[in-house]
Amino acid sequence: MKRGFLNSNKSKARMGAVSDAIHAKPGAIPAKPNTLPAKPANVPAGLGLGFGFDLNNTETIVLPENAGPDEQVTVCYVWRGSKEIIVQKPGFPTPMCLFATRRIAQGEPILAERPFLIAIRAPLGNMLPEMERRMEEVLKRMRPADRDAFMALHNGYTDDGSGEIIGRVRTNALSLDGLVPEPLANTVMGLYCCVARNISLLNNDCSPNTASNWRDESLSYHVFAAREIKEGEELTLCYADPFDRAAQRQATFKPYGFVCRCAACLDPTASDRRRAAIRSINIMELFSQWVMDKTLPGDWIIDKCLEKLRLIEQEELQCEDDYQATLMMLIHAYICRGDAKKASEWVARILRCAWKMERELEPLLDAESSAYKKHSLWRKRV
């Protein structure tokens, strides 16, 4: 999960769930890519690229439409067509779950929340005043308590013409994959962001201790512990791409009005070197090479994976896709070697990445499972 501009059971249970292991205090988010419905939603004629950034093709909707008075709702300022994408999702609106946790182990759910606002990512430049005016109308659709909570959020964009609302969105929004009608998806207009009461309070750390995913079917963000979180540790996410160099990340944080003093930013030379090394180890390519080239030692790819994993853990970047992808290659490597016992140990590790929801791997938890012998990679490299 990244900040929007950079990169929650009936009644109370639907409101979003905050683990009792966390506490929100003043000054204290590609999610799994969403799939579009099999049948494309009805998109009004004229909503296409040729029409450019035409705000007349937008609408304000409140979802779920028939929410009870104590159910969290989201005011969405979106392109026409997104409403159909959302309401046609199988299971929508799925009730959210309550989590009760104390010790925060890797993969434990911490917070599930339906945002109070989803909006088109604000355009820059001369569109800002028009966007701000439209957002004033959007805010009128929010419940008073949500509006108050929104306006109480920090605004770091006070001197770039953003306005009070757009400024708060830009400071606090998390980006959201999907939900954009087909003609606009994969364009500069094809990105939404959302603001939520609790998740928007997460501060930045370039080695964040949370990872999250967005679930269309409940219109909610879910935050998990990306690694073991100690008692008293602040919960964080990264507002920038953590693989950017430290200087580049600081430039990204500038409009937010802070200088990051996390461990990676305080020792940028060593950290930049390790982060570059993580990215330089293309584990998928190396895996293909190892499967084809039988002259390479049997444990060659395993050493590469372990090296990458060591660097990721040193930089505390378990929230990043590289971590889970490396664990997956280790599992594949052991399956290729016909070692179900070792593979199952790494399956147990990857299943702790609960934010990734790799449920199809569950049968491989049991080293005796017949799923191993049926696997397409079984004993491919013995």
Ligand X SMILES: C[S@@+](CC[C@H](N)C(=O)[O-])C[C@H]1O[C@@H](n2cnc3c(N)ncnc32)[C@H](O)[C@@H]1O
Residues lying near ligand X in the complex (CB under 6 A): 26-27, 153-154, 156, 171-172, 200-201, 203-204, 256-258, 260
**Residue 210 three-state SS:** strand
DSSP string, 120-183: EPPP-GGGHHHHHHHHHHHHHTS-HHHHHHHHTS-----SSS-HHHHHHHHHH-EEE-S-S-GG
Reading the block at residue 220, the tokens are 């909610």
Q: Which is nearer to ligand X, 13 or 201 (CB)?
A: 201
Q: Which is nearer to ligand X, 63 or 265 (CB)?
A: 265
Q: Which is nearer to ligand X, 158 or 187 (CB)?
A: 158
Q: How far is the CB of 174 from ligand X (least distance, A)?
A: 9
Residue keyed to tokens 């799923």: 371
Burial class of residue 305 (count of CB atoms within 10 Å of its CB; 0-12, 13-18, 19+): buried
Stated as kind and residue range, the H or E segment containing 195 is strand 192-195
Closest by alpha carbon to 164, among 184, 179, 147? 147
Q: Which is nearer to ligand X, 175 or 200 (CB)?
A: 200
Q: How far is the CB of 231 from ligand X (least distance, A)?
A: 20
Q: How far is the CB of 258 from ligand X (least distance, A)?
A: 3
Q: How far is the CB of 163 from ligand X (least distance, A)?
A: 16
Q: Which DSSP letter does residue 287 get? A: H
Number of neighbouring beta carbons within 10 Å of residue 272: 18
Q: How far is the CB of 27 from ligand X (least distance, A)?
A: 4
Q: Which is nearer to ligand X, 51 or 258 (CB)?
A: 258
Q: Which is nearer to ligand X, 44 or 257 (CB)?
A: 257
Closest by alpha carbon to 161, among 128, 139, 130? 128
Q: How far is the CB of 26 from ligand X (least distance, A)?
A: 6
Q: How far is the CB of 172 from ligand X (least distance, A)?
A: 4
Q: Which is nearer to ligand X, 28 or 348 (CB)?
A: 28
Q: How far is the CB of 17 from ligand X (least distance, A)?
A: 20
User: 184-204 in b/e burial notation, b at 16+ Cβ within 10 A?
Assistant: bbeeebbbbbbbbbbbbbbbb
Q: Are 372 and 335 in contact (CB under 8 A)?
A: yes
Q: Are 174 and 29 in contact (CB under 8 A)?
A: yes
Reading the block at residue 80, the tokens are 């026409």
Q: Which is nearer to ligand X, 142 or 174 (CB)?
A: 174
Number of neighbouring beta carbons within 10 Å of residue 239: 28
